[in-house]
Amino acid sequence: MTRDELLDFHVHVCEDARNLMNLKNRDYAGGGGEEPFANFTRCEAMGICETEAGFLVRVIDKVSRMSSFLRSGKMHVEDESFYDAIIDVVNYMVLLGAYVKDKDEDSTESLGETERRETESSDWNFSEQTHVMHHQV
């Protein structure tokens, strides 16, 4: 595979992931699109785990299935392919990133000016992390 073929594959994966997220989020999320993380925040509301951990549990489930496939060469759930699992992992990461970004923006908006400046300089600031990642790629 050449670099151009890899980048074409990337575009295809991202398009497929976005289309699937658009459909699935309509089923899972409540509030007519106003609560895109509803199915993930429920685990925290029920006292099971923090929302972020809920995202990661789902990713680990998919990675476990993919790992089993790589060892055995067979996906036992026949209506879900290895590619489908990749798309799901991509979407879980996008959802987690969006959730953390949204949570970071909400907490920054409620802070006073001094606290806001301190938060903006922290390692947890999503905008800063995104800026750093963009320059590393």
Tens of pLDDT, residue by residue, the chain (137 residues): 999 999 999 999 999 999 999 998 888 886 677 889 988 999 999 999 999 999 999 999 999 999 999 999 888 888 889 999 999 999 999 999 999 999 998 877 766 665 555 555 555 455 555 444 444 44
d(CA 118, CA 17) in angstroms, rounded, equals: 36
Are 95 and 75 in contact by the 8 Å Cβ rule? The answer is: no
Confidence at residue 114, expressed as pLDDT on a 0 to 100 scale: 58
Domain boundaries, the chain: 3-136
Q: What are the residues whose beta carbons fall under 8 Å from the beta carbon of 40, sequence distance 6 or more?
A: 51, 54, 55, 95, 99
| Separation CA 67–CA 60 (nearest Å) | 10
Cα–Cα distance list, 59 to 56, 63, 91, 98 (Å): 5, 6, 9, 15
Please give the Cα distance from 96 to 40 (Å, whole number): 9
The model's pTM is: 0.76
